[in-house]
Amino acid sequence: MSVISDGNASGGKSVGKFENDRSYCQIKINVPSDGIYDIVIRSMGIGGSKENDIYTDGKKVGTFTSENNKFSDYTVSAVSLTKGDHNIRIIKSWGWIELDKITVKTGAKISNSTYNVTSSLVNRNATANTKKLYSFLKDSYGKYVITGQQCDGGINGNEFKAIKNLTGDYPALLGLDMMDYTPSRTAFGASSSAVEKAIEFANKGGIVTLCWHWNAPTEYLNSTANSSDGWWGGFYTQSSKFDIAKVMNGQDAKGKKLLDRDIKEIAKQLKRLEKAGVPVIWRPLHEASGGWFWWGAKGSDAYKKLWKYLYNELTNTYGCNNLIWVYNGQSADWYPGDEYVDIVGEDIYPGNHVYDPQVSRFKQAINYGSKTKITALTENGCIFDIDSAVSINALWSWFMTWGGEFTVNGSNYSEKYTEKSVIKKMYASKYSLTLGSLPKIY
């Protein structure tokens, strides 16, 4: 760490570059009273946009972004502080920033108007059950947090059973993946029972959400080996040569034909759910702005074209009228438009035992579109502290803890990310909805 002379910094100097694993900068502040405060970090990324972490008194309260080669402000919102002295520490995550200044100012709770969603479903031909589910989501938004869990095994999977054994109830929302219906996976012997598990859970009164780790077509994979950089990692950018910009611009007819083939297959599975009367919270093309999946590797314009094309194909060509569309691109610049989105989702993995409600990301997401949309925590590592969320009125529509190590060790509940006391408090809260406390929706 060193002092850097920079005429663009507010005082002509900054500190940086946070290039070492132990790099940090700490300041002491004094606040006049107990309350909610916003912490504004002015910084600049070196060689690209960067993300780093902020702690107060040893507790992580957020992650901030530094824009590439220009100083900008990032606000970590709604941090609860008691009267007196506190330590604020900036700690390296990605590193490589110049830190200009840190400002602490009085903050505020999330406004109740945030939860006043008046939009109808973007698909005017949505089924009756889909409309009923969306109406329920709107009515509960801002009043309750719906408990969710990704679990390939469905209600009888390890994650669900471990949560039931610990808390006495199941999650209200089951997350499943359409990944193994993709032709470039079935070609190598993959199979899926996600549709059957979704129907089973819906028949027990639960809500279903589906994502799609969309494998690139076999012809575009870098390797067909049975490994993470082979066919079964084919949704990653690094594992294929699939250029979605060329496909969407009409420069790759073969790629377009294979894209259409994949969409047709997924539509067939979604129609099975529609026939069974199951509405789906549908979250395709997730985490695009990160660039680690092929659908986000060629920039926002190509992504938005793909989103609109997928929406049109599933909605108008194949008549999948049981879908509630969730945008999960994680950036306002990648947002395809209010007319293509029902719900906005954010995926957040803050680390181990970090129970902050992630208010900054919540406030960021609610402003992606021009219309008020339901906002959800569509993937998470840690479960946030429900009391903290209620205290600042930051009630995500639902959370969706990822499976595997984020929830279990084998068949037993794991405290690696969320301690037992935190999840038990969430499931027992009057502000959360579990499978047992869900009303009959349709």
Q: Residue 161 belongs to what H/E stretch?
A: helix 158-167
Active-site residue, from 98, 159, 274, 287: 287
| Distance in Å from the first CA to the final CA of the chain | 59
Please work out, in degrees rounded to the nearest 5, the angle formed at the alpha carbon of residue 383 by the alpha carbons of 33 and 303: 105
Cis previous bond, 17, omega within 30: yes
Q: Do residues 359 and 392 lie in contact, with contact meaning Cβ atoms separated by under 8 Å?
A: yes
299: alpha, beta or left, given left = phi > 0 and alpha = psi -120 to 50? left
Q: How far apart are CA 291 and CA 368, in angstroms?
A: 19
51 catalytic, yes or no? no
Closest CA to 436 of 158, 208, 168: 168
From 98, 159, 346, 379, active-site residue: 379
19 is catalytic: no
CB 68 within 8 A of CB 45: yes
Output DSSP code: residue 313. I
Dist. CA 53–CA 403, nearest whole Å: 25
Ordered alpha helix ranges (H), 209-250: 244-248
Q: What are the residues facing 324 on neighbouring strands?
A: 281
The rounded distance, in Å, linking the Cα atoms of 401 and 150 is: 6
Q: Which residues are known catalytic residues?
A: 287, 379
